[in-house]
Amino acid sequence: MKKILVTGGQGQLANCINDITKNNNELHIVYVDIDALDITDKNAVISYFKQNNFNYCINCAAYTAVDNAESNHELAEQVNYVGAQNLAYACKDYNITLIHISTDFVFDGKQTKFYTEEDLAQPLSVYGNTKLEGERAIANILNEHFIIRTSWLYSEHGNNFLKTMLRLGSERDELSVVVDQIGTPTYAGDLANVILDLIQKNATSYGLYHYSNEGVASWYDFAVTIFEIANIKIKVAPIKTEAYPTPAKRPSNSIMDKTKIKETFNLTIPYWRKSLENCIKTNKL
């Protein structure tokens, strides 16, 4: 039986992993949040790993409040960089494979083509910078790692764009959403399945990978599609980024090329609208 530690145990990705594995007797999964394990405390991490015999660590813990990170740089760095570094050292000491979740926000969005794993990462925000620092720390410390960059993650769990749009759709008659930032909405349940597939296949093709659902959308497209599937009548107006200023800059294009992960692990990735429809209808959102 494989024993797996999942950090960020209260988050949407961890919840999706839990949903999928509830009846799986081959995996023993321990979920922790900051109350059970503070990943920014190196001694606590080492001690926790010493007391348990894990085969894998899935690091879903992150400081993801993109705008708040601009004024909370130290906290974002502690979680996204130092925390990732601490986990990497502990995984190296105890022969554990680390699966780390990163972000499309490591890119500046200025190129017109899809981003591959080889493209230069130039974050625009504190959040993006600290996540990139975490990636680099892991790669420098530990050979047995998978770093998976994903984008626009949503699910039936926690707080995310889908849940926000559904709430606003019940409160308002009209809404303005940014149309000039493009990427790919990604269902956390699909990402969870990929992570678990790597573990169950005993995959050893370590390294950096991009994973999102297939297709391209703007935040406006995403919102309109949510309301359409949920049968919510609301007027949605497309606006440019400059009309909705935020503390953190976002990449205008964060579409990721997924050729590497598809070919390496023989994956078929669902189209974003299909996964969104399944999420909303299956969970009666």
**CATH code: domain of residue 63:** 3.40.50.720
Active site residue 211: no
Q: Is position 166 within any domain? A: no
C-alpha 56: how far from chain center? 18
Residue with tokens 């049968």: 231
Q: Is position 179 within any domain? A: no
Give yes or no for residue 34 having a pLDDT over 90.
yes
**Region 171-197: what's the mean pLDDT?**
95
- Based on the structure, what is the number of domains in the chain? 1
**Region 143-162: what's the mean pLDDT?**
96
Q: Which of 127, 154, 187, 211 is catalytic?
A: 127
Q: Is position 42 within any domain? A: yes
Q: Is position 6 within any domain? A: yes
Report the percent of the chain where pLDDT is more than 90: 93
Domain interval for residue 103: 2-160+185-214+254-270
Read off the pTM: 0.95
Give yes or no for residue 24 having a pLDDT over 90.
no
Q: Is position 208 within any domain? A: yes
Give yes or no for residue 243 having a pLDDT over 90.
no
Q: Is position 111 within any domain? A: yes
Helix (H) or strand (E) holding 275: helix 272-282
Beta strands in the chain (DSSP E): 2-7, 27-32, 56-59, 97-103, 145-150, 153-154, 174-178, 182-183, 186-187, 207-210, 217-218, 235-239
